[in-house]
Structure 1
């Protein structure tokens, strides 16, 4: 398996190359970014290790070139930087890197990161065929938005965008799930929506031509298609496309209004029941097990209560025989009773 290493310092480049060769990898290395990029077009490396500081173009520039080249866009890419700060790591993740390590690298951490990224890449690449997610598509007038787009692998807990960021693209989910949320001035998270395979997200800010009012995070490993803002705004001028997105906006608005009404006026048990029913109806339940796959923290953030209050309510529902809880998630045993009960 061939790896590409881009590092400006020959001594460190040799040391990393020796380590990787001992681990059984074939390594092609360069001291500059552009020669490495040209080599990658022909060799198609399995993974790239790239220093952020290179003499001709920085590591973020190399990463951008990879993500903009169709044949290389999905290649796992690990940035190597001089600092281990949260700001540096966030910048790397937002730029599209799969991981970020601090120089000089620790041998064990480097090898573990490489194995982890390669394993995740091959699993995600195979997952659409194995699970049927490849069949998830968007039909009708919206199909042209995702035609011939390059899939991007996004790992669990990866931040897609944050409140206040400027929107640059529309997103389509091929596989995996995304949550959007807002954070109060007290640091409390309120989840506003979940998005499933076959859905678009991030379009509201693009249509408003304003910064994002919420953050989006992958709650499991995902495959996403990116539609540049200019392409989306051009296509949305077509009546058949604009009508589709008006329907999407209206549906999300109704769900948001119901969530706010529940939080303001409904008792705790009714709010939890409505949240569970909503997640089950929206496709949050695994098809094979019929279990709702959501963490208690995320479910509490949907309802707008403390996780401890949610745990007590779920325990009461379980004792009443309304649901079952296992390592696979929450399975509704009596959804009709949950829907009709007068609490």
Structure 2
């Protein structure tokens, strides 16, 4: 079985011309040592077993408020708007996501490089890290639409050229996450299985997929099998809680039809030893604000508002 338009050897094939079997992931989720960073050994083991870990109280209420004020400011950022890094909901026109936020916000840049956060990424990935992608996800009350079930690595591999699932995402809640306002759902243990997907990647697929992803997602039969095998858990908790999850963890969220908004800062750390190559789907790379091709290691920032 070969992937449509694949041009280089691919250890994790996807975007196939016909269905293929799922197969066990051949690389670890935890590359570092249990005692090499801020995560406790139990937290590292939980991350390795489930593909995610939740830490409440990552930000204080005052720090959350600082970040929330920054979200409101960035929604009117002309620089982000001009380069297409602000994605809006199809029907309401409200902001859905804002990308490359660490590049235009000194506050978010400091947050990412605060040692107690940066060193968590280093601990899990076992190396120096850089930012593959940063964004703010907004899910306003009544009109926030969900994200269909998917593995982020499948897209980053196929469309950005990320070689291995040696990346992790951090999602910090800026609003209380309830079970009913579109909180992120995850399948614990699903990160250990790779799911090839069917379908050729259209040109500039990101222009549609960031609003509604249709290519690079499993079919309903596969999702059903995964759900019965692994179950579904949800990231809930007060504002300031943080979710760390593996790039291959199956996850998604439902629409928010409540009046309670949901927003989070979302940062993808990638190992400097896992820098991007040409996209494995054979397409042109996505824009820099979606798949950063500068793998310069992050340096820590001390004496920040988040110490």
Please classify the TM superposition score into its range, dividing by the shorter chain length: under 0.3
Specify which structure has the higher proportion of helix: 1
TM score, norm. by length of structure 1:
0.24
Bigger radius of gyration: 1
Structure with the bigger RCO (C-alpha within 8 Å, sep 6+) is: 2
